[in-house]
Amino acid sequence: MTLAFSEHDHKYCRASILRQVEDICQKQGLRLTDMRKRVLEMLLKNHTALGAYDLLAQLGREGEAVQPPTVYRALAFLTENGFAHKVERLNAYVACHFPDKVHNPGFLICRCCKAVGETCVVKSPLADQGFDIENEIMEAEGVCENCGLDN
Amino acid sequence: MTLAFSEHDHKYCRASILRQVEDICQKQGLRLTDMRKRVLEMLLKNHTALGAYDLLAQLGREGEAVQPPTVYRALAFLTENGFAHKVERLNAYVACHFPDKVHNPGFLICRCCKAVGETCVVKSPLADQGFDIENEIMEAEGVCENCGLDN
DNA sequence: TCTCACTTGTTATATTATAACATATCATAT
DNA sequence: ATATGATATGTTATAATATAACAAGTGAGA
């Protein structure tokens, strides 16, 4: 059962991940600038994925007239440092649930409630003698436990 | 070792897959129209993924002034029926290597030669009690055997 | 305080994909 | 063989996602 689909104190969840990211940035001399932090906080709001233009619009609503490159740069920083991931099937982004672990993310995407659960994939099912895998994504779509009960 | 990275008689490989698709269409009453077949043949040319606009341009070069929806419709037919897959990380499309098997595709993408190998993933590493997985993709990037030897 | 690296602003445009409606084609029933 | 309805394609326009290129601002250490 992944975090996104289980009841939990999300306020704490959010704060805890943000704290972890801040710590890592501190330690590694990475600059979690205001813009980067705001984008991360938006992604942490809930367990759904947000598109770059959703983020853009939200910043707009908050009074920041920001252009696409600004958002994409923040996302680039977050994804390159493992603080967020792109969900390729959705062309959208999520905050990483395990910012302190180097890992390949595996996503469970609920097509009902749109929540996205993340798991750390440790052993690649694609491992193939001869092919040197550098990184890997897994994205499953389906119906989460909560939505499955509802029908 | 997947097909795409091993030496093989690609002329035969191509023809064999096309034949399989034709048979399946025959049996299932699916119409492999000229446009659909041409797009599939282009995807079968080699083991790299092609973008929709690559296909469009190639059709253009062959004298067919075709618009995007035409290509996307052909791709929709091919992917919906399991004759091709979209490689999400590349926003590009490949012919399926196993058109006769219902499966979730796993891709090995070589960042050197751009070849894409396909495997049938049978057991999901994301399987999670409670979440009902309907379909799943896996895409690994790295260096294939042939390119790894070259450096 | 200078300087250099890094970050963000700004403008323009590239790339990927789809909506909506018109026309053509095909399979089959008559 | 032809009318009919379903399926496929043509056509125009536009949406959605992403990046290039250059200017300006900011911050940490020399």
Q: Mind listing the pLDDT tens digit for each residue in B114-145?
A: 999 999 987 788 888 889 999 999 999 999 99
Say what the pLDDT of residue A2 is: 87
Looking at the predicted complex, does its ipTM rise above 0.90?
yes
Say what the pLDDT of residue A147 is: 93
Total structural domains in chain A? Answer: 1
Q: What 8-state DSSP symbol labels residue A43?
A: H
Say what the pLDDT of residue B128 is: 82
Alpha helices in chain B (DSSP H): 10-28, 34-44, 52-61, 68-80, 145-150
Q: What 8-state DSSP symbol labels residue B117?
A: E
For A90, how many CA atoms within 13 A lie in the half-sphere containing its CB?
25
From the number of C-beta atoms within 10 Å of its C-beta (0-12, 13-18, 19+), residue A58 rates as: middle
How far is residue A116's CA from residue A141's CA, in Å, rounded to a whole number?
Answer: 9
Domain extent for B29: 3-150
Mean pLDDT of A124-128: 85
How far is residue A54's CA from residue A93's CA, in Å, rounded to a whole number?
Answer: 10
Say what the pLDDT of residue B42 is: 98
Cα A97 versus chain centre, distance: 7
**What CATH number does the domain containing B126 carry?**
1.10.10.10
For residue B130, list chain A residues with Cβ-Cβ distance below 8 A.
Answer: 1, 5, 144-145, 148
Cβ pair B130:A148 closer than 8 A: yes
Say what the pLDDT of residue B151 is: 58
pLDDT < 50 stretches in chain B = none
Burial state string for A78-115 with b = 16 or more CB within 10 A and e = fewer than 16: beebbbbbbbbbbebbbbbbebeeebbbbbbbbeebeb
Residues of A in CB contact (< 8 Å) with B are 1-2, 5, 88-89, 106-108, 110-111, 117, 119, 121, 123-126, 128-145, 148
